Structure 1
Amino acid sequence: MSDQDKKTDTIKQDNGKLSAAEKQARLAEALRANLRRRKDQARERKTTPTADGNDT
């Protein structure tokens, strides 16, 4: 294997790791956004009375 091939393999591996780290960051942000949205929805349900008058 030539030096150029070794460098190419290293770059591919580094890009793969970087891509995985970026994916983790995107997933973490999506989870935070989903949690915020769900909390907002729960607050809305808590403050808005139901249509039939029951507060359950």
Structure 2
Amino acid sequence: MADKNSPKKDDKSGDAREERLKAALKANMARRKAQAKARAASEDKTGKDEG
């Protein structure tokens, strides 16, 4: 009986884990995108100052 309950518990925790990982990945990608955008903007300013 305990074996039947364990997979259900694992599925729920697995789903919760997957949701947490998905949210963390989305936040990480947004942060990286913002960093890349900031770097590109700073490079544009540096390039304009030099030339």
Q: TM-score under structure 1 normalisation?
A: 0.67
Which of structures 1 and 2 has the larger relative contact order (alpha carbons within 8 angstroms, sep 6+)? 1
Structure with max Cα Rg: 1
Structure 2's unaligned 5+ residue stretches are: none
Number of equivalenced pairs: 47
Q: TM-score under structure 2 normalisation?
A: 0.73
Structure 1's unaligned 5+ residue stretches are: 1-5
Aligned pair 1:39/2:33, yes or no?
yes
Moved >4 Å (runs of 4+): none
